[in-house]
Structure 1
């Protein structure tokens, strides 16, 4: 069973955290909520896990209404909040036993579901949770969220502050969990993780910018992007921003991603301008759009290409 969100809004002291949010997560889908800090991701997760009540709108999780059936939802979902929230003074095994007991089950009963994850931290089962590394804490929190075999799994920025290797391992685990008939809603500020989801919703300032597959969103990017580099990155960015024909200018690793307002843009025109700005070692070449490029474009022009996927 999936998730349905219809026109959900929430404000805090006059500040709109969510504005008419609507989307649907299909059963067994790995759906990503992608956006920066403060976009409204955590507020939405708290509403869907019955920890917070929306000002307006409706939502259902695994077929249960978030208001009328909040007790049923709490039995059938797993929730891993952004901050490590397990008992730091309890050992790894004690934390897992505690959460199993709360849901009226045992580690043994659902061990098959968490086995791939738990075997990595089982050698440290007698270590206090507060003494674990970031990656190990992450695996323990996921094990605790899964121990009662939930129908829907909510993961709020689960890889924030985790090293790249642990991040990759975590997403590999999510793909395996998806094969066990679990619907997964994951939020992240990392644009590269968006490509690992079946579908994504880009969110900014409490509003959905676009919903579609990662591939479709990138494909809909409206302009040609150029990688630009030179001997002085700071000066390069400022010079490009001052260029009268620039549409967008964003740092992107060792390059600057540049788009032009003209349909007849010529690389040599831009190169001559940058040379006149006294920049050296100038390189300009076409490149492919990314999820991050799409997000920046939609955030700048939110009404230009925003639409829901029909798939």
Structure 2
């Protein structure tokens, strides 16, 4: 903790030395002055790990001093059974403490929810003694049945992504920053409510240099997925700022958390401020409380990028910004994704189109759609119809193109689509004007209707 807050090596070792010196001094004084009076209470004192350690060091020192003075060996293995030195008690106490602390740490980790952990009941260890209900009275699991139907009806693009993950896992090395294999998250049922599947069989793979967008309604499971990935990821969030700290101080603090120090930390802070346009004019030395909303967002992005992380998560980074500030932030994110993977969640279709290389629609804890490799064949088909064709967007297996009317005949379009159907699956196509919102709403509603039926 002292290192994390920027304490130098000199003060750090001085404080550490003073702490252990005080502990050893207190124990030595109690043992030497009051040891003969308190008797068995010395053993009680040794329950404290520091006292137990220094009791052992004290006994080693006594044997070493006596051996050096009398020209004999110091403490040997047979001396551990000598009742006058207390080493046997010290070793027993330290071994028992190791076991006790191990189980106490495990219990606290299970009962106290930290980060993305799920808090268990304080008496969870008694559940193994509960009598399990007879299988003849067991209620059939509708969720499991629904899960099986879901697997059978999984979209082709999602299945292809899962197959790609399985193939990547067999390779000795890969350029992908994130590979998730059958990721799940289940919240246990409480107060008679069934357990909640927040994330179901999620298997995406993200290479370096890709921005993967996650779209979905509220409650779809995006945040649960984030919490699972939070340990290896760098979380960019508006609430990471303190009003009284300057932009430079924020970056110095988070840089130290990522083990940057000295000249490397100074250089990283300077480069981060420049990358988000907070360097010139002394802006980086102003308190964050005086920043505009756009400046705060850019500082948050700089915090997430300092230390050169290979994976960055961004949660609706441009929410609440005016168009000019939003465009500035988007330019920062575009530059940042050159050598890292970025996971972006957003409700802005425009932001998804501008920033994301691939998109997935997340509904009821699972990906309903994701980028399809056949999109390149569709692109080639359209380019053959018109060299001036302009792809407006590409999202989760659906593409939209703008073609000059004077260059294309409708009959040629129909013929090209019919020929394409013999090469790959075309689920739907049309010449009507559609928007990204239409695609999103259609996929979400279809997935929700399916979940109700299953």
- Shorter chain as denominator, the TM-score bin is 0.5 to 0.7
Which secondary structure state, in structure 1, belongs to the residue aligned with residue 218 of structure 2?
Answer: coil
Choose from 239, 243, 262 the match for 1:88: 243
Q: Matched residues in 1 for 2:279 and 2:322: separation?
A: 16
Does the residue aligned with 2:204 lie in a helix, a strand or coil? strand
- TM-score if structure 2 supplies the norm length? 0.43
Structure 1 counterpart of 2:398: 219
Residues 228-248 of structure 1: CA deviation (Å, up to 9, x unaligned): xxxxxxxxxxxxxxxxxxxxx
Contact 1:110 1:148 in 2 (8 A): no
Report the structure, 1 or 2, having the larger helix content: 2
Q: Does 1:166 align with 2:325?
A: yes
Normalised by the length of structure 1, the TM-score is 0.61
Inter-CA distance 217–211: structure 2 relative to 1 (3 Å threshold): closer
CA contact (8 A) 2:214 2:362 kept: yes
Structure 1 contact 100–107 (Cα < 8 Å) conserved: no
Q: State the match for 1:289 in structure 2.
A: 434
- What secondary structure sits across from 2:186 in the alignment? strand
Q: Tell me the residue number matched to 1:199.
A: 358
Paired residues, what number? 215
CA shift digits 1:50-80 (9 cap, x unpaired): 2xxxxxxxxxxxxxxxxxxxxxx3xxx4320
* SS of corresponding position for 2:220: coil
User: Please, which of 186, 192, 203 is the counterpart of residue 22 of structure 1?
Assistant: 203
- Structure 2 CA distance for aligned equivalents of residues 139 and 198 of structure 1: 21
Range moving further from structure 2, 294-303 or 167-176: 294-303
Q: Does the CA-based 8 Å contact 2:369-2:397 persist in structure 1?
A: no
Query: Which secondary structure state, in structure 2, belongs to the residue aligned with residue 165 of structure 1?
Result: helix
Counterparts of 1:288 and 1:218, CA distance in 2: 17
Aligned to 2:276: 117
1:53 aligns to what? none
Question: Is this contact kept in 2: 1:17–1:43, CA < 8 A?
Answer: yes
* Aligned-pair CA distance for 1:89: 2.5
Shift of 1:288: 2.4
| Alpha-carbon distance between aligned partners in 1 of 2:362 and 2:351, rounded to the nearest angstrom | 15
Paired residues of 1:96 and 1:107 also in contact (CA < 8 A): no
CA-to-aligned-CA distance 1:140-181 (integer Å, 9 cap, x gap): 1111111111111111121122222222221221111223x1
Matches within 5 A, 1:291-306: 291-302=436-447
> How far does the alpha carbon of each residue in 1:123-152 deviate from its partner, in whole angstroms, 9 at most, with x for none?
332332233222111111111111111111
TM-aligned CA distance change 1:48 to 1:208, over 3 Å:
same
Moved over 4 A (4+): none
Looking at structure 2, the residues matched to 220 and 104 of structure 1 have their Cα atoms a distance apart, in angstroms, of 44
- Matched residue, 2:307: 148
Equivalent residues in 2 for 1:220-239 (5 A)?
none
- 8 Å Cα contact 1:121/1:136 also seen in 2: no
CA 1:218–1:288: 2 relative to 1, 3 Å: farther
5+ residue gaps in structure 2? 1-175, 190-194, 373-392, 401-430
Question: Which stretch shifts more, 211-220 or 286-295?
Answer: 211-220
**1:218/1:289 contact within 8 Å kept:** no
Flag structure 1 segments of 5+ consecutive residues without an equivalent. 51-72, 222-285, 306-311
Offset of 1:218 from its aligned partner? 6.7
Check if 1:185 corresponds to 2:340. Answer: no
Q: Measured at CA, do residues 130 and 16 of structure 1 come closer, stay the same or move farther in structure 2, by a change above 3 Å?
A: farther
Deviation at 1:37, TM superposition (A): 2.7
Q: Secondary structure at the match of 2:180?
A: strand
Q: CA 1:122 to 1:156, structure 2 compared with 1: closer, same or farther past 3 Å? A: farther
Q: Which has the higher contact order (CA 8 A, sep 6+)?
A: 1
The 3-state SS of whatever aligns with 1:201 is strand
| SS of structure 2 residue aligned to 1:150 | coil
Alpha-carbon distance between aligned partners in 2 of 1:3 and 1:207, rounded to the nearest angstrom: 17
Q: Give the whole-Å Cα distance in 1 for the aligned partners of 2:293 and 2:314.
A: 15
1:94-127 CA-partner distances (Å, limit 9, x unpaired): 1111111222221314643552214367633233
Q: Secondary structure at the match of 1:302?
A: helix
